[in-house]
Amino acid sequence: MTWFDHHQYSKKLAAAAQSALQCGDEPGARRIYAQAAQEAEKALALVPRWKQVTRGVVAMSAARWWRRAHRSEEAARMARLTRDAPDLFPVTLSPLDGAVPAPAPRKRT
């Protein structure tokens, strides 16, 4: 698989996790968010170094999905990895500052 395939798959998994959450399956949603984050990390490993913006977006996705999976250690690891990579797009730094579990998305009414 290419980095793009992994990234697309991670987005599909994140959408499935959101659906599970909306159906009240929080444990299932957390598992699927963790799978989405793993796929995003696979994508990040394959994105060429010269694609700085893409690398930043994929890294932010991985960290966000780790937080939504309530896996703050993995989210913090991604934040550290991003901070230690000066070639990543600088916009990735501030959203990753507080690598703590994100609140569950609100249901739309």
- The per-residue pLDDT for range 79-98, each reduced to its tens digit, is 877 766 655 545 444 555 55
Cβ atoms of residues 52 and 37 within 8 Å: no
- The per-residue pLDDT for range 29-80, each reduced to its tens digit, is 999 999 999 999 999 999 998 888 888 889 889 999 999 999 999 998 888 7
pTM of the predicted structure, to 2 decimals: 0.76
Cβ atoms of residues 104 and 96 within 8 Å: no
Q: C-alpha distances in angstroms, 54 versus 16, 35, 48, 74, 92? A: 23, 20, 9, 20, 11
* Domains of the chain with bracketed CATH: 3-96 (1.20.58)
- The set of residues, in sequence order, having a beta carbon less than 8 Å from that of 91 and lying 6+ positions away, is 56
Which DSSP state fits 13? H
